[in-house]
Amino acid sequence: MKLRGLYAITDSQLLAGKFLSYVEAALEGGVTLLQYRDKSSDEARRLREAEALRDLCERYKTQLIINDDAELAARLNVGVHLGQTDGPLSPTRALLGRDAIIGSTCHAQLGLAEQAAKEGASYVAFGRFFNSNTKPGAPTCSLELLDQARQQLHLPICAIGGITLDNAAPLVAHGVDLLAVVHGLFGAESTAEVTRRARAFNELLKI
């Protein structure tokens, strides 16, 4: 399967009280990957929410990715996204199997992406590209790095950090396959607007 399109990422604070309705609205508009990102340590709630997302994703034929937690991903038989301090890639590939989607945060460093590719990542993520409400302190990344990454890597490239419908086009022009978005999607005022934004992101990627 070609990994290209909108990569929607949940945020527990932003989606409080409207979690499943907003996620379903995004899926309705088209989502290639959906990441469950919850930084709390409430294991019971995390399991419950991740299971609900897995069921929703099955209905919409969307791939679910769990942030940070390879054990939870293995339990649900879905993919995982690992940052540089979230555990090693190779054993995670062994745990989840060769068909699982495993993403790797590479900040603004091509060397990290080359290493991730060697260790079996399915996609590499660069960013942040713009000011981010969700993670203001994330290191910044340039469009030039995307050009180099496109030339040197043979993996889908994901961009993250402050992406909106107004600023995403240059990322696509510089070779991005996956647009990873929290606020630019789920910061919408209504479910109808979430669906409209999801469709519009996909239109930028022409899928």
Ligand X SMILES: Cc1ncsc1CCOP(=O)(O)O
Ligand Y SMILES: Cc1ncc(COP(=O)(O)OP(=O)(O)O)c(N)n1
- The nearer residue to ligand Y, 112 or 191, going by C-beta atoms, is 112
Number of residues that bind ligand Y (CB under 6 A): 14
Query: Closest Cα partner for 66 from 28, 9, 23?
Result: 9
- The nearer residue to ligand Y, 25 or 38, going by C-beta atoms, is 38
Return the residue of 83, 87, 120, 187 that touches Mg ion, per CB under 5 A: 83
**What is the C-alpha separation between 131 and 152, in angstroms, rounded?**
27
202 counts as binding ligand Y under rule CB under 6 A: no
Return the residue of 134, 145, 179, 197 that touches ligand X, per CB under 6 A: 134
Window 15 to 74, contacts with ligand Y (CB under 6 A): 35, 37, 67-68
Q: Is residue 156 helix, strand or coil? A: coil
Q: Are 28 and 199 in contact (CB under 8 A)?
A: no
Report CA torsion sign: 93, 148, 180, 203. negative
Alpha helices in 83-142 (DSSP H): 89-96, 110-118
Question: Where does this chain bind Mg ion (CB under 5 A)?
Answer: 68, 83, 86
Q: Which residues are annotated as a binding site for Mg(2+)?
A: 68, 86
Question: Where does this chain bind ligand X (CB under 6 A)?
Answer: 127-128, 132-135, 138, 160-163, 181-184
